Structure 1
Amino acid sequence: MWMYLGLLAALFLGLHNLCKKHAVRNNETYTVLLGTLVAGFLLLLPLFIGSLWQPEYLQQIQLYVTPLSIKEHGYIIIKAMIMAASWVLAYQALKHLPITIVTPIRSAGPFFTFIGAILIYQERPNFWQWIGFFLIILSVFLYSQIGKKEGIIFKSNKWIYAIVAATFLGASSGLYDKFLIQSLNLNPPTLQFWFCTYTMLFIGAIVLYKRNKSIAVKQSFQFRWTIPAVGVLLQMADYFYFKALQDPEALIMLLSAIKRSQILIAVVLGGLLFKEKNKRKKLVPLFGILIGVFLILYSNK
């Protein structure tokens, strides 16, 4: 069951990435990010209020936001700090790079998760999972070669380093999620609400600082319908992802790989909608990534 929940998360993440590309295009990045977080917060706020006034009903429908200790809040704040840094880097990179380059690099997340799952959680891949792992690495390398034809030199482009750092931080957060869900027994609505709240405060502080520092920042922001859509789609994806992690049998390395199937939506539809170059050439490493994901997912059956 947890694999199907992971696929639902991937579906919403793919749609989320398309909306995010539209939201940040020629727009003020930090304010866009804050807008998505505010939208997610407003979506989750009724659950928090309902948990105070109608706890029995919210528990019955599994949307109850449980009270937390100070220590548990501290753990969630750590996650918020990690992801705030990851999102800032990713949004900036997405603004300056084609989505068909950004998305495959983001697909490298399972590499870091794969290693962390082995070292931290002692998850053990089999032979075909290792083949899938290295196939994805090779495919991402091929993407870097295609990127050079678009004027994106990976060694000298700072946005490439930004998206790589964002990917590493995102993978670290994924490993941390398993600890929060399975070791601390936090349920998805509780983790989502407080994580969104703290991240919104962190990004809000950055936005206030930048707006006070530069008038141009205030003038460069344009509201678009995709901004709240990004926040809503992300919360839906996170809900299914956290629900999948609640299963004691769920493997974070495989769940992370399942989520990478979002690249089919982002690369194919994104390339068509945003009319980016070299779409056909990018299909070759795209299929390499998909085959690698397939090997990781189904080789244990």
Structure 2
Amino acid sequence: MWMYLGLLSAVFLGLHNLCKKHAVQGNEVFPVLLGTITSGFLLILPFYLGSQYDPEYMKSLGFYIEDIPLKKHGFIFIKSGIMAASWVLAYQALKHLPITIVTPIRSAGPFFTFIGAIFIYQERPNLLQWIGFFLIIGSVILYSKIGKKEGIVFTRNKWIFAIIAATFLGASSGLYDKFLIQNLTLNPQTLQFWFCFYTVLILLIIMSFTWFSKPEKRKAFKWRWSIPAVGVLLQTADYFYFKALQDPEALIMLLSAIKRSQIIIAVVIGGLIFKEQNKRKKLVPLAGIMLGVFLILYS
């Protein structure tokens, strides 16, 4: 069951990436990010209020948000800090790079998760899983060669380094999620609610120095329907992902790879919507990434 939940998460993540690209095009990154996280927070807020006023009813629905001790709040705050840094870097990169370049680099995230799963959680891959992960990495290298034809030199473009750093931080957060869900026994909706709450606080602090005090930046911001859509789709994807992680048999390195199947939506549909270059050539490394994911699932 946890693999199917992972695939559901991938579908919503793919749609989330398309909306995110639309939201940041020609727009200020920080208010877009704040808008998306706030939208996700408002989506979950009724569950928190319901849990305070009618806990038994919310438990019957399966959306009860628990009261947790201060120590667990501290662990969730750490996750919020990691993901806030990852999103700021990723949104900036997405604003300046084609989605058909950004998404495949992000697809290398399972490789970082794979290494962490081996050394931290002692998950043991077999031969097919090794082949799958190296196929993913090799395909990302091929994307870099295609990117040069669009004027994007990977070793000289700062936004490439930004998306790589964002990918590493995101993978670290994925490893941390397993600790939060399985070791601290947090249920998905409790983790999502407090994670959104602390992320909004962090972004408000950052924006008080970088955006609120600058009228020209405030005027440049454009509100778009895709901003709240990003938040709603992300929270939906995260819910299925965290539900999958609740299964004690779930392997974080496989879940991370399964989530990368979102790349089909981002590269194929996104390439058509945003009219990006070299779409056919990008199907070759796309096939490599999908074959890598298939080998992991098959194994």
TM, length-normalised to structure 2: 0.99
The corresponding residue for 1:168 is: 168
Q: Deviations over 1:67-118 (max 9, x none)?
A: 0101000000000000000000000000000000000000000000000000
Moved runs in structure 1, 4+ residues, more than 6 A? none
Correspondence for 1:186: 186
Report the Cα distance in structure 1 between the residues aligned to 2:40 and 2:125, rounded to whole angstroms.
35
Q: 1: CA distance between counterparts of 2:165 and 2:19?
A: 22
1:141 aligned onto 2:141:
yes
Judge which range, 56-65 or 142-151, deviates more. Answer: 56-65
Alignment of 1:215 onto 2:212: no
Higher mean C-alpha displacement, 202-211 vs 167-176: 202-211
Matched residue, 1:51 = 51
Query: Structure 1 residue 31: deviation in Å?
Result: 0.3
**TM-score after normalising by structure 1:** 0.98
Partner-residue secondary structure (3-state), 1:223: coil
> Where do residues 1-301 of structure 1 align in structure 2 (5 Å cutoff)?
1-299=1-299
- Provide the C-alpha distance between the structure 2 equivalents of 1:46 and 1:214, rounded to a whole number of angstroms: 33
200-209 or 113-122, larger mean C-alpha shift: 200-209
User: Structure 1: where are the runs of 5+ without partners?
Assistant: none
Alignment partners' CA distance in 2, 1:156 and 1:216: 29
Partners of 1:42 and 1:136 in 2: CA distance? 36
* Cα root mean square deviation, aligned: 0.6
What whole-Å deviation, never above 9, does each CA across 1:232-255 have from its counterpart, x for those lacking one? Answer: 000000000000000000000000
1:160-193 deviation per Cα after TM superposition (whole angstroms, max 9, x unaligned)? 0000000000000000000000000000000000
Q: Report the Cα distance in structure 2 between the residues aligned to 1:148 and 1:248, rounded to whole angstroms.
A: 43
Alignment size in residue pairs: 299
- 1:35-60 CA-to-partner distances (Å, cap 9, x unmatched) read 00110111010010000011001111
1:211 to partner: Cα distance = 2.3
CA distance in 2, matches of 1:6, 1:114: 16
> SS where residue 185 of structure 2 aligns?
coil
* Alpha-carbon separation, structure 1, partners of 2:76 and 2:155: 35
For each residue in 1:140-160, what CA deviation from the matched residue of structure 2 results, as whole angstroms up to 9, or x when unmatched? 000000000000000010000
State how far apart, in whole Å, the 1-side matches of 2:212 and 2:40 are.
Answer: 25
How far the C-alpha of 1:126 sits from its partner, in A, is: 0.4
Question: Which residue type is aligned with residue 271 of structure 1?
Answer: G
CA distance in 2, matches of 1:135, 1:38: 37
Q: Which moved more, 1:205-214 or 1:258-267?
A: 205-214
Aligned-partner Cα distance in 2 for 1:72–1:294:
36
Q: State how far apart, in whole Å, the 2-side matches of 1:182 and 1:137 are.
A: 29
Aligned-residue sequence identity (percent) comes to: 74
Shift of 1:212: 3.9
**CA displacement at 1:213 relative to structure 2:** 3.9
C-alpha displacement of 1:230: 0.1
Give the Å deviation of 1:297. 1.3
